[in-house]
Amino acid sequence: MELKNKIWMTGDLEWFTYIGGEEVYLGKREVPIPLAEGDRWVNEYGDVFQVLDREIRLLERIEPPQRYW
């Protein structure tokens, strides 16, 4: 399957892509390579991704809690 997104891996074995013109961290071992339609995963920061219509989409981004001290 050919993806609409460009994906690449760094020397630290981290996967990245562009979503909406923004460079986005996909994860390390949690990324199901090779990607297939319907694949879904959560990276170490809690960001949820899924492949829909040959495109990697960010479904939910969990913001870390703010510290007040």
pTM of the model: 0.85
CB of 47 closer than 8 Å to CB of 61: yes
Q: Higher model confidence: residue 7 or residue 67? A: 7
Q: Residue 29 in 3-state DSSP?
A: coil
Give percent of the chain above pLDDT 90. 83
Distance CA 32, CA 4 (A): 16
pLDDT at residue number 19: 95
Name the pLDDT band for 61 (thresholds 50, 70, 90): confident
Distance CA 53, CA 16 (A): 19
Q: Is the pLDDT of residue 1 over 90?
A: no
Name the pLDDT band for 68 (thresholds 50, 70, 90): confident
